[in-house]
Every structure is written in C-alpha cells, then in structure tokens.
A and B are shown apart, each in its own frame.
Chain A
Amino acid sequence: MAYKIEKQKGKILKKCPGQKGYVCCGLYVLETALGCPFFCHYCVLQNYIQKKNFIIYEGIEKLKKEIKTFKGIRITTGQFSDSLGIEKFYPYLEKIYKIIFGKNITLEIKTKSTNIKPLLKLKSKKQIIAGFSLNSKKVYLNFEEGTASPSKRIEAAKVLQDEGFFLSFHFDPIIHSYSYDEIIDELTEKINEERVLWISLGVLRYPEKVYWEILKNNEKLLKGEYFPSKDGKFRLFRPWREKIYKDFLKKLREKWKKVFIYFCMENKTVWENVFGIEMTDKKLTKILDNLAKKTF
C-alpha cells in the first residue's frame, strides 16, 4: 500500500457528472482523495490508479470559497475513495466538518471500513449521514480485499445509530449470482429502520477499460449477460437487473416497509418496471435532499 499527497489543482467540489440516459441522485463529490487502501476486484478506480494506492488531495481551504455558491446540497468524500478508510492516513473529516457546519449542506460518508472514531469525535452529529457500502458475505470474501466484513460494518453502523447519527446503506455493486437474503436479514435485525435515510442499489457495471482489470483480478465477476450501454459501460441484461432488484426489494420489504430505496445509475425503464414510477434526476435529487434535512 502506498499513498502520496498532492495539491488539488482544480475545483475540489464537483457535481457527480452522472451518465447519459441514467437517473442520477445529484450528489456532489468532494475530491479529497483518489483511490483507497482496500482492493475491491470490481472497483472502477482501477482505471485511474493502481490497486491499494491512493492520492490525498490537499487544499480543503478551497472548499470554504467554493461552497459559498451552493445551498441545500449533499456532498460526499466517498465517490473516488473510501471516506473513513483514508482517515487513518490523513485525517480530513474534522476539517471538512468545520467548514460545512451550520451551512445548508449535508456530508454523506461512504465506507467499507469500521473506522468510525473520526465520526464519533465530531462536535455534533448534525449534517452527517453515515453511509456504509454493503454486500453479500460471499461477495465480500471473494472480491473485497482488505475491507471490514459486512457484519462488522453493520455493527459499526449500529454504534453510530445509537450515538444519534443518521445512516444510509449502499448495496453497490450487487453481483447477480449471489444471494443477499442473509445480509438483508442481518441489517434489518440490527439496525433501526427509522434512523436509515435511504438505501441505494446498483447491479455491477463497468467501463470497457476496467473489464481487463477485472479479468486479471477475478474473472468470476464477468459471468453473465453483459452488454454495452448508452454511457459506454457494460451492464447486465436489463430484464435480469430488474429481476435482481425485485427479488432484493421483496426480501427487504418483508422487514422494512418505509425506508426510501433508490437505484444508482439506472435508466427510466428499470425505475418504471420495478417501482412503477417515472423517475428523473430532478425528482430523485429533490427526494434525497428533503430526506437529508432530517440531519439538521
């Protein structure tokens, strides 16, 4: 594992560019790092940086200036890195929190680690959403090297929930040949639905360049009927994705009836066939922005 510290040359806060033809949740990305200390075989960041290597971008003071033009947005440090995974190497969270505290902005942490100390040390729980990426235990064992086990992540989430934090969970990527029943049971038994703001789902997709990396890492991930889609990424045959989502939802809704569930980068046909609703970037962003207000 190796990392270096570089100056952030461009803007530090950027809107997630989304993908043409796919509904985007309107999250803003705070680019504090690229890469992470873990090695997930399916990770898209392999396209940009060697495994287990990462760059920390200095220049958080820029955020003070950049943030002035934004209101009511959700930001994350977990798009190009693991929000809490890199805290051990370069404590960033407190600095970010000082800048956003008291403003109309929420910070969504996204992690596969259990390094929750930096969150617990914050002076308040307001404006924070503690997001955990979850997967089936078999997916973790086969493809998520160096991360905390899903059970440990849920335990960490429970500690945060008991401390008064709001939570989110991201099942992304869902790998089609694995069962998610066990992890859904564990999640719904240990966590209080009321404290969960949302759950996102996304079936594995990958750009062509990452295909070659995945092929080297673990070709099992490439099993199935994947096709190139509008945004250049390879996606599982759409009716199969819908079946996976329906099975997942059926299981989850047995226990959790109310929590908001959304798809990460799915097209309108999937939204319609699975949820029976017409979804747009604007609508989804509004729903999530409103839910995020609970943290104030």
Chain B
Amino acid sequence: MASRNFKLLVPLEYLKIDEILQRSLKKEGQLSPVILAEGNIVDGIKRYHILKKLKKKIEFKEMKSEPFSLRLNLNLQRKFTLPEIAFMYKKAPEKLKLEILKTGGIPSIPEINEIFDLLLSNKNLIRKANLNKINISTLNDLIFWEKKAKEVSLKFSKLEGTFSELKNVSSLLRKAKIEGLENIKFKKNAKEMEIYLRKILYPNYSSALKKFKEKIRSLKLPKDLKIKEKDFFEEKELEIFINLNEKNQEEIFKFLFENQEKIKNILKEIP
C-alpha cells in the first residue's frame, strides 16, 4: 500500500508541521495508522509526509466514511489552522459546512466565502494564518477595504507595504468609516497612508505629539539619547532611552545635567 500515491484531503501547505512530530516519528516510529477514505488521506497527512521523507514503512487503515466528516471527527481534540478550515469549508459537502466553522470557532458570517477565497488565494496570508498572525477579523477588514477601494475607484489593494502596515491602514480606514470621514486621499504606500490617516483621525493627539516633538528637537539631543512620549500621553510621563558606552558616557551625562531644567519643563508641559 505504501507504494501507492494517495490524494491528501487537505493540502500540506495548510497544515502546521511541527518539529516535535518529526522527532517523535524518527525516534518512536509510527504509533497510529494513517487513515484513508475514498482514496484520500483523511487523517495523518503530516505523518504520511514525514514518514515518506524518512523512507519509513507506513501503516494505513481504510475507512468507509465521508472523508471530511471523518476528518472532523478524528481531529476534535486539536485546533485546526485557519487555512485548513477554509479549505475544508470550501470543499466539504454543504451539510458539513456549519460544523466545520463551529469546529474552528469561526462565526458564520455572510462574507465567509469571500474571506476564505482571499485567504486561499494568497500564500503570504496562508503563512501568516498558520503562524496565528492574522485572524478572521483581519481578513474581513481586508475584504471590506478592497470593496471600499473599488467603490471609490482607488486601489487600496495595490498599496504596497508590510502586512502589519496594511493591517494598520485597514483598521484606520475602518475608523475613518466610523467617524464618517469622506474624501480620503490615497497615498503611494501603506506607511504614508498610515501616517496620513493617523493625523486626520487623531487630530488632538497628533497636535500634542507635534508640539512635544518640536520641544524635543529644540534640545538638540546627542545621537545616543532619545526622549519619547509614553502611551499616547496617558500620564504625565516621558521615556528616555540611552545607548550608553565608554565613548559617549561623558557627553550624555553632561547633556542631561546641563539640560535637566529644560527636560523637566517638557515633562511639566505634557498636556
């Protein structure tokens, strides 16, 4: 049976291969059989992959059940990855769809098909989802702003940036919608877009921050000394970062000593 090639019920890329499993299979060998149904590997996809790579004999067990239903039942104890849930949801028989969502703890929202399509169409998103770095609500935001961008003939989807910048832009655009802001300008990349949105959505904080930064600039800090605002001015506090070494220590201590009144004033003037 090991020489046959089986179809994997869920593609390997949607699963998280952990080193513990690899080590255990290497050391202990296969403890439970790989389960087959209708020519698909239903359970033990990772084990099958690892054992095949290790060129070890693989033990199978054939079951007569609907493959997706069987996979759900056999894996109730573990947490499915988001791409795995998305894939199963798209491929499984209609009557199983709700159960699949429930198993993954995912709400049955009308946009779920679109969300899963977006996820499965993008390798970067799959990778992030497997690392638990994005969730359903982030994907939902991306879909929302894709649509919004289309509505206003703007290419949000083409905004370049890291995933975290895009995520920030996405949540800021959601906030813009809550605030009822219209005529949002689209900038050339996600970073600039984020700065622009923060400025218009948080005008009081932005203005306080601008004043604070001007005062800090006027101090002409040595390059290894940084003074920053803390927690969005939640308290009258500021943070001082010193990168101290033997070369700069004299200069930094001298600066702090000579400018202590000015620094105290900046602290006092925090709104």
Contact = CB atoms under 8 A, between A and B. Distances in A.
Given A225-B202, A225-B205, A227-B205, A238 B178 contact: no
Contacts, number: 49
Task: List the 5 shortest-distance A-B pairs measured between CB atoms, nearest first.
Answer: A227-B232, A239-B271, A269-B235, A219-B178, A225-B202
Contacts of B271: 238-239
Contact of A227 (B178, B231, B236): B231
Contacts of A21: 235
A269 B232 CA distance: 13
Given A212-B137, A222-B178, A223-B178, A235 B204 contact: no
Contact of B231 (A222, A225, A230, A272): A230
Contacts of B203: 225
B204 A229 contact: no
Contact of A238 (B175, B201, B202, B233): B233
B63 interface: no
B208 interface: yes
A227 B203 CA distance: 13
B141 to A, nearest CB: 11
Given A223-B179, A238-B235, 9 more contacts: A21-B235, A227-B234, A228-B231, A229-B232, A229-B234, A237-B205, A238-B232, A238-B234, A238-B271
Contact of B204 (A212, A215, A225, A267): A225
B49 to A, nearest CB: 36
Contacts of A237: 202, 204-205, 232-233
Interface in B223-259: 231-236
B22 to A, nearest CB: 35
Interface in A186-231: 212, 215, 219-220, 222-223, 225, 227-230
A267 B235 contact: yes
A48 interface: no
A225 B137 CA distance: 21
A220 B179 CA distance: 8
Label chain B's interface by main secondary structure: helix
Contacts of B236: 269, 272
A260 interface: no
24 contacts: A21-B235, A212-B137, A215-B178, A225-B202, A225-B203, A225-B205, A227-B231, A227-B234, A229-B231, A229-B232, A230-B231, A235-B234, A237-B204, A237-B205, A237-B233, A238-B232, A238-B234, A238-B235, A239-B204, A267-B235, A268-B235, A269-B234, A269-B236, A272-B236
A90 interface: no
Nearest to B203: A225
A240 interface: yes
Interface of A: 21, 212, 215, 219-220, 222-223, 225, 227-230, 235, 237-240, 267-269, 272
A239 B204 CA distance: 9
B164 to A, nearest CB: 15
A224 B243 CA distance: 37
A225 B234 CA distance: 12
Nearest to A236: B204
Contacts of A227: 202, 205, 231-232, 234
B168 to A, nearest CB: 13
A247 to B, nearest CB: 16
Nearest to A220: B178
B148 to A, nearest CB: 15
A227 B232 CA distance: 7
A268 B234 CA distance: 10
A85 to B, nearest CB: 28
Contacts of B202: 225, 227, 237
Interface in B153-211: 175, 178-179, 201-205, 208
A235 to B, nearest CB: 7
A240 B204 CA distance: 9
Contacts of B175: 222
Contacts of B179: 223
Contacts of B205: 225, 227, 237
Nearest to A238: B234
Contacts of A223: 178-179
A21 B230 CA distance: 14
Nearest to A227: B232
B267 to A, nearest CB: 11
B170 to A, nearest CB: 14
Contacts of B137: 212
B230 to A, nearest CB: 10
Contacts of A268: 235
A251 B235 CA distance: 25
B56 to A, nearest CB: 45
A127 B154 CA distance: 64
